[in-house]
């Protein structure tokens, strides 16, 4: 129970995702492409803090830090709040008042339109945070339907870990975490946003893999092996196969031909297979440890600064070393100030005159913090 004047702050971590596979297996009657993808969350991600808007606020508001991103009504965070509010109101007929306005602070680290699902992850985290802020609940089926209405990748982030994603993205089968130490991942994302819709348009126009059903076969084998228990070392051994298992890669190259040259340069520099996440342009390589991935990231940054890598878009690429995240424990994440910490899902009640929690969610917590 909170005292009068207390404010509730709901904190959520919104992880990036990595496509280990992406197979287009057909065309649906609704016009969407049918997919078979194995996806995993990463320890790289955004952070959301959601709280009740000040008294008299006209509506929901969003403040974004970290990366340049619109905070207008087209932002997925605000769209997720509006959609969640509508679902909550519809689920409790006879209650006169709709859930009140919310104030959201989004610390953005995941590059936009990069194939890492940053906006979709923000939307999924917002659904959860808004429900907590309103002390409301939706049944699982309604929550998945809500998530799917916001974007094809959004339902994946409700799984909280590795998953097989089929349909247009709305069918999510949770897969077991990798056994043992999870692989680290080197991410290199040119400053060249690629819209997923544009990649699918190129795919439909004929920009397709010459390997036929290869991506689907690799994806099915990977899902089967993960169901029965797969180690991080096993995954790394399959890196070359996985790197070729993305049916949107040729479509992305049709939009940004320079990606092929960049991928080749990265493979020469690192000596490791280079895959593409989602519709790109983010490229990835797997490593046994975060230390090795960090060393590779430094080498890539240095090569980019010296002009030894092809430059796509504006400026040097986004380069990060991260780790495939499991369901438990919560991953350590890197904050914008270069420090590391853990963002735990929680609701913080800031009592008048009491201690406030560290806004980054790492250190001193208020005396009545409740884990969720």
Residue bearing tokens 């945070």: 129
349: β partners? 8
Q: What is the bridge-based pairing of β-strands 33-52 and 163-167?
A: antiparallel
Q: 309 exposed, middle or buried (CB, 10 Å; 0-12, 13-18, 19+)?
A: buried
Q: Which of 182, 176, 154 is nearest to 289 (CA)?
A: 182
3 state SS of 296: helix
108 counts as catalytic = no
> Which one of 46, 60, 128, 153 is the catalytic residue?
153
CB 220 within 8 A of CB 27: no
> Which one of 17, 46, 60, 177 is the catalytic residue?
17
Angle at 98 between CA 92 and CA 100, to 5 degrees: 135
Angle at 319 between CA 318 and CA 325, to 5 degrees: 115
Return all residues near 249 (Cβ < 8 A) that are at least 6 apart. 209, 276, 280
Q: Where are the beta strands (DSSP E) in 95-183?
A: 102-107, 163-167, 171-174
Q: Which of 207, 273, 281 is nearest to 245 (CA)?
A: 273
Distance CA 164, CA 39 (A): 7
> Distance from CA of residue 155 to its chain's centroid?
11
Q: What is the bridge-based pairing of β-strands 61-65 and 184-189?
A: unpaired
Token code pair at residue 28: 């649906």
Residues annotated as part of the active site = 17, 153
């Amino acid at each position: 129970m909170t005292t009068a004047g207390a404010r509730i702050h709901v904190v959520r971590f919104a992880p990036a995702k990595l496509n280990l596979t992406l197979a287009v297996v057909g065309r649906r009657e609704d016009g969407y492409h049918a997919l078979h993808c194995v996806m995993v969350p990463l320890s790289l991600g955004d952070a959301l803090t959601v709280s009740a808007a000040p008294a008299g606020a006209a509506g929901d508001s969003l403040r974004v830090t970290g990366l340049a991103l619109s905070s207008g009504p087209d932002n997925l965070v605000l769209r997720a709040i509006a959609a969640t509010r509508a679902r909550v109101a519809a689920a409790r007929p006879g209650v006169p008042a709709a859930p009140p306005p919310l104030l959201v602070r989004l610390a953005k680290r995941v590059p936009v339109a990069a194939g890492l699902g940053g906006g979709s992850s923000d939307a999924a985290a917002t659904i959860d945070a808004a429900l907590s802020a309103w002390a409301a609940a939706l049944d699982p089926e309604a929550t998945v339907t809500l998530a799917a209405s916001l974007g094809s990748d959004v339902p994946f982030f409700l799984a909280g870990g590795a998953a097989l994603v089929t349909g247009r993205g709305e069918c999510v089968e949770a897969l077991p975490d990798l056994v043992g130490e999870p692989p680290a991942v080197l991410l290199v994302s040119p400053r060249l946003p690629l819209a997923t819709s544009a990649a699918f348009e190129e795919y439909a126009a004929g920009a397709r893999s010459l390997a036929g059903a290869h991506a689907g076969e690799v994806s099915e084998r990977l899902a089967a092996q993960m169901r029965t228990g797969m180690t991080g070392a096993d995954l790394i051994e399959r890196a070359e196969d996985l790197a070729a298992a993305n049916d949107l890669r040729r479509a992305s190259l049709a939009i940004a031909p320079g990606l092929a040259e960049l991928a080749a340069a990265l493979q020469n520099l690192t000596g490791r297979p280079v895959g593409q996440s989602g519709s790109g342009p983010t490229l990835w390589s797997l490593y046994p440890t975060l230390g090795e991935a960090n060393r590779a990231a430094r080498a890539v940054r240095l090569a980019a600064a010296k002009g030894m890598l092809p430059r796509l878009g504006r400026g040097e690429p986004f380069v990060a070393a991260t780790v495939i995240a499991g369901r438990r424990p919560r991953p350590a994440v890197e904050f914008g100030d270069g420090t590391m910490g853990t963002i735990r899902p929680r609701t913080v009640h800031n009592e008048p005159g009491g201690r406030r929690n560290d806004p980054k969610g790492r250190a001193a917590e208020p005396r009545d913090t409740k884990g969720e």
